[in-house]
Amino acid sequence: MVKDSHLLLNNIFHCLSDPTRRKILERLIEKPLTVSEIKKPFRISLVAISKHLKVLERAKLIRRQKLGREYMIRLHPQPLKEGYNYIENYKKEWKRQLDVLEKFLERNS
């Protein structure tokens, strides 16, 4: 179970590391889109878009639904919570360390 969680977390951060995939996710926040609609603003091939979509699917950030001859792509944001929780744990530690530094500086100024 922990291994699956780490794998999902790795896949999520891998997805978010690419600007094209981030832009795809941003566009899907507004509404579900077909693969062709997703491709429109990008100056890359449909094959390249499909590869990005497969990476997003592997991280469970999108879902495909076949509608006639096309696929409708929908955002599935729940896995992003894993990434948020991971970062949130570090945020608490950073805040604690900054509080310690602030107290140190107050005592020594």
Domain spans of the chain, in order of start: 2-107
Angle between helices 80-107 and 2-16 (to 10 degrees): 80
First to last CA, the chain: 50
> Is residue 80 within 8 Å of residue 12, measured between CB atoms?
yes
| Residue at 40: amino acid letter | K
Question: What does each C-alpha distance from 48 to 43, 53, 70, 97 come to in angstroms?
Answer: 10, 9, 17, 43
pLDDT of 95 > 60? The answer is yes
Closest CA to 9 of 92, 84, 89, 74: 84
CATH, domain range 2-107: 1.10.10.10
Model pTM score: 0.80
pLDDT category of residue 4 using cuts at 50, 70 and 90:
confident
pLDDT in the model for residue 1: 47
